[in-house]
Structure 1
């Protein structure tokens, strides 16, 4: 689904990424690489293949959009280095595109580790009227694109049917991306009258309006 925001055009993708055509860039928030292995190490009975889903989704959007850059809006990794770091390193070495990481609160792996892989690490990015961050921020005169919240929306059907879906959450001067990671959970959104929620299905992005 196309979205005009801050005088720029974007495409919201069912994977949870945001494509920025004028910059040929893909924006991704909250992958949380290593989270599955982190929980497995601490006794949770999770299949290891769940952690590989993030790489499958990344490869899918690279093939679909052929971007020049991936911009990670924070929380690329969930915690300290584990097996996913080795997988991520191998994946990065196969890529030829530019990568930038805006540091999130979970990104405790030293920046030089990412920089050694050729990934630029920054606290924020400003581009014309756009302000790209990990945490939601308000800055006069800027439109904020961010992550961190892992927004979700609860659809209610006939009877007591309920379905929780990840979503893009658009406020007047802020767009919050859904968590890209396969094992991240949701913060349920109750939008105000002047706000928009775009839920993700398997192959569609749908406005709740």
Structure 2
């Protein structure tokens, strides 16, 4: 099976990747949502034992996507951070990643976890709550736009295949809205129930699988 899927959203060619990213070729821009840097560190500070290396793994996946698509910019659709910035291991991993991609322009839409982002020193441009670049409106929350196709994150959509109890991260393709799965591996998920005309694209370890019937975006 393929690990990416080319399709059209609002008349624009895009590519969805099993690694939970969307690429817009015309803009040479890669999109992810809900990176949640520092989440595992926050859990460890609370006394919950978690294995280390999650951030490094997520950033290695992101490097592979940047190199594969030859993206000139990366936009994170909110929740770059998980909480406060405390100088943890994830920051060292992020700075090493930034040094590996010095020419990549990185911007972020404001997410509900990003209160500390402005002072975090991560070399990320703050793009505000919504950026309109027709035919798209980019934001964190899945709030419809009057006339543009919304590309967003926030809800961490997951979906199970019929007959299976396992839930997979998924792109949720709704009427004039595409909700990206959480990019971070260490996140929960919200189980999507597809309404009539909606579809999803499931993200497996090495493959991507469309579910549902066609929908004009």
Q: TM-score, normalised to structure 1's length?
A: 0.92
* Runs of 4+ deviating beyond 4 Å: none
Shift of 1:44: 1.2
Partner of 1:104: 111
DSSP 3-state at the match of 1:139: coil
Partner of 1:146: 152
Matched residue pairs, number? Answer: 204
CA contact (8 A) 1:27 1:70 kept: yes
Cα 1:110–1:166, aligned 2, differ >3 Å: closer, same or farther?
closer
DSSP 3-state at the match of 1:108: coil
Partner of 1:204: 207
Distance 2:157 2:176 in 1: 16
CA contact (8 A) 2:81 2:117 kept: no
Shift of 1:162: 1.3
Superposition map of 1:1-209 within 5 A: 1-82=5-86, 83=88, 84-95=90-101, 96-114=103-121, 117-123=122-128, 124-157=130-163, 161-209=164-212
Cα 1:165–1:110, aligned 2, differ >3 Å: closer, same or farther?
closer
Cα 1:13–1:110, aligned 2, differ >3 Å: closer, same or farther?
closer
Distance 2:24 2:60 in 1: 21
CA contact (8 A) 1:70 1:100 kept: yes
Deviations 1:113-162 (A, max 9, x none): 34xx54210122111221000011112111100000100002242xxx41
My pick for the range that moved more, 80-89 or 172-181, is 80-89
DSSP 3-state at the match of 1:162: coil
Shift of 1:30: 0.3
Distance 2:205 2:117 in 1: 35
Shift of 1:112: 4.2
Shift of 1:35: 0.5
Q: TM-score, normalised to structure 2's length?
A: 0.89
CA contact (8 A) 2:55 2:93 kept: no
Cα 1:52–1:118, aligned 2, differ >3 Å: closer, same or farther?
closer
Distance 2:117 2:23 in 1: 28
Aligned-residue RMSD, C-alpha: 1.4
